[in-house]
């Protein structure tokens, strides 16, 4: 039976400033790991909150940092504006500080994974490069860091998913990880498109979403629980 989940808005230290996020915690007495859930370009919408709660029902503390600080887009044009205005250096610091916040929670095991979608996928990969406290990173259709030399600093296993419309990007990530002898696994789903995991979006691909979710749970179980 899945544990009861408590979800609330929280404040935590981020980049020397006050950061905010949505924290979903399972009601479990034993120490459990955490997951930082990094938003798509829309912001902290119902889809991202739901993903955090899904992880909590699986026994993880899940924190979704609000990188837009209260703003949420509903139209692609508005999302594009928010992405253009994003201070990426502040955003990645808020992500890595979210990792530290999860480590300090009561009943936390100290093992932390990061997962991100679209814009958040790129930040999840960057967090794997920047923070030695990240134990596993999942990338959903995220971009590669610039410069690519950032990948030299990857310290943890990386699992990545792409639709067939981004196969070239997937192959590039796989090649760059192999060239640097990093622990990386990349999957491409034929027929799926960018943002295929978002079950509230127009290109949701059930088969790809369900298969990738199973792989994510096993990946986190292997690297955060066992």
pLDDT at 55: 98
Tell me the per-residue pLDDT of 193-218, one tens digit each, with 9 for 90 and over.
999 999 998 999 999 999 999 999 99
Residue 2 has pLDDT above 90, yes or no: no
The total number of structural domains in the chain stands at: 1
The structure's pTM equals: 0.96
Instruction: Tell me the two tokens of residue 125.
Output: 């990969």
What is the DSSP code string of 118-181? THHHHHHHHHHHH-TT--EEEEESPPPPSSGGGGGG--S-EEEEEEGGGHHHHHHHHHHHHHTT
pLDDT at 70: 92
Task: Find the CATH number of the domain harbouring 209.
Answer: 3.40.50.1820
Residue 16 has pLDDT above 80, yes or no: no
Host domain of residue 105: 5-225
pLDDT at 18: 84
Tell me the per-residue pLDDT of 54-107, one tens digit each, with 9 for 90 and over.
999 999 999 999 999 999 999 999 999 999 999 999 999 999 999 999 999 999
């Amino acid at each position: 039976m899945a544990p009861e989940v408590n979800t609330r808005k929280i404040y935590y230290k981020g980049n020397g400033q006050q950061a905010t996020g949505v924290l979903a915690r399972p009601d479990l007495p034993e120490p459990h790991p955490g997951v930082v859930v990094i938003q798509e370009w829309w912001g902290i919408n119902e889809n991202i909150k739901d993903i955090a709660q899904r992880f909590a029902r699986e026994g993880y503390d899940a924190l979704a940092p609000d990188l837009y600080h209260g703003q949420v887009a509903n139209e692609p044009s508005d999302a594009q504006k928010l992405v253009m205005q994003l201070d990426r250096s502040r955003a990645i610091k808020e992500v890595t500080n979210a990792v530290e916040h999860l480590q300090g929670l009561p009943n936390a095991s100290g093992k932390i994974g990061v997962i991100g979608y679209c814009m958040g996928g790129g930040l999840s990969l960057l967090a794997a490069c920047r923070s030695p406290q990240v134990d596993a990173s999942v990338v959903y259709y995220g971009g590669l860091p610039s410069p690519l030399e950032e990948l030299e600093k990857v310290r943890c296993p990386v699992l990545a998913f792409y639709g067939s419309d981004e196969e070239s990007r997937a192959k590039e990530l796989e090649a760059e990880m192999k060239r640097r002898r990093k622990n990386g696994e990349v999957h491409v789903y034929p027929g799926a498109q960018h943002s295929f995991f978002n079950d509230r979006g127009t290109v949701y691909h059930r088969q790809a979403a369900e298969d990738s979710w199973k792989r994510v749970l096993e990946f986190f179980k292997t690297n955060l629980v066992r």
